[in-house]
Amino acid sequence: MSRLTIAAPFIVAALGALLLVLLRGAVPFPLVSDNAYFLPASWWMAETGQLANPWLQPGFNEALNWHGFLQPWLVGGLSGLLGGGWTGTYGAINLLAALTVLSVALAARGLGLSPLRAAALVLVAIALMLDARSRPEVLATAQDVGLVWLAAGLARRFPQGLWHGAGIGALMAALAATHPAVAVFSGFAVAAFLAVEVLRRRPSPGSLAALALAMIAGFVLVAALLLAAVFGPAPLTWLTGLADAARITLARTDAQGLLRYFLANRFLPGFGLLALPLVAAAWSASLPPRFTHWRWLRVALALAIGLAGGFLLYRQALRIPATYYNFTGVLVALGLMAALRAHGRWRWPVDAALMTLGLAALAGIGLWSAQALAERPLIAPSRLQLAQAVASDHAARRRICADAAVLAALDDPELARSVHLSLRLAQAPGAPDPALCDVHYQLQASGGSAATPVTGFLAADAAEQVSPFARLGLRPSHFGFTRWLPQPAPSAAQPGDQP
Can you list the pairs that 232-241 forms with residues at least 24 positions away whose Cβ atoms lie under 8 Å? 237/63, 237/65, 238/63, 238/65, 238/69, 240/65, 241/60, 241/63, 241/65, 241/66
Q: Comparing C-alpha atoms, which of 201, 190, 199 is closest to residue 159? A: 201
Q: Using one digit for the tens of pLDDT, what is the confidence trace for 347-385? A: 999 999 999 999 999 999 999 999 999 889 988 999 999
**pLDDT higher for 338 or 448?**
338
For residues 362-396, b (16+ Cβ closer than 10 Å) or e, as one string? bbbbebbeebbebbeebbeebbebbbebbeebbee
Q: Comparing C-alpha atoms, which of 401, 407, 382 is closest to residue 455? A: 401
Position 450 scores a pLDDT of 55
Residue type, 77: G
Mean pLDDT for the stretch of residues 243-267: 90
Q: Using one digit for the tens of pLDDT, what is the confidence trace for 144-171? A: 999 999 999 999 999 889 999 999 999 9
Position 107 scores a pLDDT of 97
Per-chain mean pLDDT for the chain: 90
Mean pLDDT for the stretch of residues 22-45: 92
Cβ pair 90, 25 in contact under 8 A: yes
For the beta carbon of residue 46, count every other beta carbon within 10 angstroms: 25
Cβ pair 88, 82 in contact under 8 A: yes
Is the pLDDT reported for residue 499 higher than 50?
no
Q: Comparing C-alpha atoms, which of 108, 99, 485 is closest to residue 334? A: 108
| Helix spans in 111-179 (H) | 115-132, 137-157, 162-178
Q: What is the dihedral of CA 241, 247, 252, 257, to 10 degrees?
A: 60
**pTM for this structure?**
0.93
Cβ pair 168, 148 in contact under 8 A: no
Q: Rounded to whole angstroms, what are the CA distances from 159 to 198, 211, 295, 362? A: 9, 7, 21, 40
In angstroms, the CA 76 to CA 45 distance is 5
Q: Using one digit for the tens of pLDDT, what is the confidence trace for 433-479? A: 888 899 999 888 765 555 677 888 888 888 776 667 765 667 778 88
In angstroms, the CA 484 to CA 146 distance is 49
Name which of 25-39, 67-81, 434-448 the model is least confident about.
434-448
Q: Comparing C-alpha atoms, which of 143, 151, 145, 147 is closest to residue 196? A: 151
